């Protein structure tokens, strides 16, 4: 084998290995980014469920308070609003 053919073989082999490494590295980064998106979405869903539960609890408390307390047109001091 001539020196030129050896250099060509070595160059193309290095290029192929470099390309494979670069693509593999890119896929790993993309996979990690996608996983981070899934984790972020799960956290957002958890917060949404938590806030919804708090809202429902506040709605129930408001209903109970409205049953116990009467609301009329009077202000804090007992004077009519106006």
pTM exceeds 0.85, yes or no: no
Indicate if the pLDDT at residue 3 is higher than 60.
yes
- Of the two residues 26 and 78, the one the predictor is more confident about is 26
What b-and-e string marks burial along 49-77, b requiring 16 or more CB atoms within 10 Å of the CB?
A: eeeeeeeeeeeeeeeeeeeeeeeeeeeee
> How high does pLDDT run on average in the chain?
89
By three-state DSSP, how is residue 82 classified?
A: coil
pLDDT(68) > 90:
no
């Amino acid at each position: 084998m001539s020196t030129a053919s050896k250099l060509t073989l070595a160059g193309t082999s290095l290029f192929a290995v470099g390309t494979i490494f670069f693509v593999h590295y890119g896929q790993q980064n993309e996979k990690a980014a996608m996983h981070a998106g899934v984790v972020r979405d799960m956290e957002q869903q958890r917060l949404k469920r938590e806030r919804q539960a708090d809202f429902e609890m506040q709605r129930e408390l408001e209903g109970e308070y409205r049953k116990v307390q009467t609301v009329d047109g009077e202000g804090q001091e007992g004077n009519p609003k106006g």
